[in-house]
Amino acid sequence: MAVSKTHPPDRIMELYKEGQRDFGENKVQELTSKYEVLPKDIRWHLIGHLQRNKVKYIAPFVHLIHSVDSLELLQEIDKQAAKCGRVIDVLLQFHIAAETTKFGLDLPEAEALLAHNLPNVRIRGVMGMATFTDDMDQVRREFDTLMGIFTHLKSRWFRESAWFDIRSMGMSGDWPVAVAAGSNMVRIGSLLFGERNYPVE
C-alpha cells in the first residue's frame, strides 16, 4: 500500500497510472479532500490515529481502517457503517514499539473488545509500528510479537473466519524485516514518493 500523506493528487496520479490502487493517509481531512478529486476506484486506507468524531466523514467510502485502538472507536465505526449500509473492514492496531508515543492496544484490551458483537465492522487483522531505530534485531523482535498476537487471535477468535488474514507491518525503513517476519501488507511512503518535509508521527 502506498502512503501518500503530504503528497498532492498529481503525485498520486503518477502511481495510479502505473496501476497502483491502494493508497493510505493518516489524516481524515486530507483523505476526504483527495478522495473527492481522485478516481473512484482507488482503495483508501486510513492509517493514522482516528478520532471518534471524524469517523462519519470517511465511513461512506473508506476501504480499510488500520488504526482501531479502542472499543469506543470500533463502536463508532460500527454505528457510522450501519448508517451507510456498509460493513467496514478494520485492523486492530497494537502497541509493539518501545516508544510510548505510538498508539495501540495490548492483548487483554483487544480480547475485551473482541467479546462485543458489532455487525457492521469486520476485523480483518492486525497493524503495528516498530520502534524508529537502526537496531534491526529490536525491530524484528517487535514484528515477531505482532505475529504472535495475530496467531493467537486467529486461533482463539477467528478460527472459522477466512477474512482474518491481514498483517499490516513494515514501512520504508523496515519493510524487509517485516516481510521476513510474516507481513502481508507493507505501508510504504518515502520509498515511493521521496522524503516528506515533516517527520512521521
Which residues make up the interface to ligand PLP (CB under 6 A)?
3, 5, 26, 47-48, 129, 171-173, 187-191, 200
Q: What does the alpha-carbon distance between residue 181 and residue 177 come to, in Å, rounded to a whole number?
A: 6
- 145 or 168: CB nearest ligand PLP: 168
Min separation Cβ 83 and ligand PLP, Å: 27
Amino acid at position 116, single letter: H
| Closest alpha carbon to 123 in 83, 73, 56 | 73
Using CB positions, name the residue nearest to ligand PLP: 189
Report the residue number, 27 or 52, with the smaller CB distance to ligand PLP.
Answer: 27
Rounded to a whole number of angstroms, the minimum distance from the CB of residue 23 to ligand PLP is 11
Is 84 or 191 the residue whose CB approaches ligand PLP more closely?
Answer: 191
**118 DSSP assignment:** -
Burial class (CB in 10 A: 0-12, 13-18, 19+), 108: exposed
Q: Output the smallest distance, CB 140 to ligand PLP, in A.
A: 17
CA distance 125 to 119: 16
Q: Pick the closer one to ligand PLP by CB: 69 or 78.
A: 69
Q: Which is nearer to ligand PLP, 103 or 157 (CB)?
A: 103
What's the min distance (Å) between Cβ of 185 and ligand PLP?
A: 10
Q: What is the nearest approach in angstroms of ligand PLP to the Cβ of residue 48?
A: 6
Q: What are residue 93's phi and psi, to 5 degrees? A: -90, 130
Farthest CA pair distance, the chain? 45
Give the shortest CB-116-to-ligand PLP separation in angstroms.
25
Q: In one letter, which amino acid is 181?
A: A
Q: Which CB sits closer to ligand PLP, 147 or 189?
A: 189
Alpha-carbon radius of gyration of the chain: 16
Q: Beta-carbon neighbour count of residue 115 at 10 Å?
A: 8
